[in-house]
């Protein structure tokens, strides 16, 4: 049966083709909200972009990977951080994160990187939101 007819037949009877299983067509997709804070900033710090120009945070990337190292989503820290009760922080959302058993979150700039690991149950219990503090 030609491929087009196989796709049509699968749609009519409501079954998945083997290729769909390989790509996780029915897999749940998440958005992970990540707050990255400067562990050295004190509450009430000015938190301006100028204060962070040329530091670790200036151009840092936040990458989520699976345990084998395959990147799943990435975002950069941009602009001025926001002031909080815990000092200065940046917020990013990593969209399109596929369901998996475990994840590795990496905050990196230049040769310096900080790595955090989470399993799926932990992220679910945190409602797909994490807060990490790093030192520049």
- Residue 112 belongs to domain with CATH number: 2.60.40.10
Distance set, CA 125 to CA 36, 52, 103, 107, 132 (Å): 19, 32, 14, 22, 16
**pTM listed for this prediction:** 0.78
> What does the chain come to in residues?
136
For 68-126, write each residue's pLDDT tens digit: 999 999 999 999 999 988 889 999 999 999 999 999 999 999 999 999 999 999 999 99
User: Would 3 be classed as within a structural domain?
Assistant: no
User: Would 9 be classed as within a structural domain?
Assistant: no
Alpha helices (H) in the chain, listed in sequence order = 3-13, 18-23, 49-52, 120-125
Higher per-residue pLDDT: 135 or 70: 70
Give pLDDT, residue 114.
97
Higher per-residue pLDDT: 84 or 16: 84
User: Would 10 be classed as within a structural domain?
Assistant: no
Domain hosting 57: range is 29-134
Q: How many domains does the chain have?
A: 1
């Amino acid at each position: 049966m030609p491929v087009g007819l196989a796709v049509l037949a699968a749609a009519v009877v409501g079954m998945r083709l083997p290729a769909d299983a390989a790509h996780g067509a029915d897999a749940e997709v998440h958005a992970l909200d990540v707050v990255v804070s400067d562990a050295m900033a004190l509450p009430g710090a000015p938190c301006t972009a100028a204060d962070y120009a040329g530091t670790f945070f200036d151009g840092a990337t936040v990458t989520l990977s699976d345990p084998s190292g395959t990147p799943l989503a990435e975002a950069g820290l941009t602009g001025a951080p926001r002031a909080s009760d815990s000092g200065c922080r940046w917020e990013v959302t990593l969209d399109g994160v596929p369901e998996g058993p475990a994840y590795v979150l990496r905050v990196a700039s230049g040769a310096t990187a900080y790595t955090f690991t989470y399993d799926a149950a932990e992220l679910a219990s945190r409602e797909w939101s994490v807060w990490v503090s790093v030192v520049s």
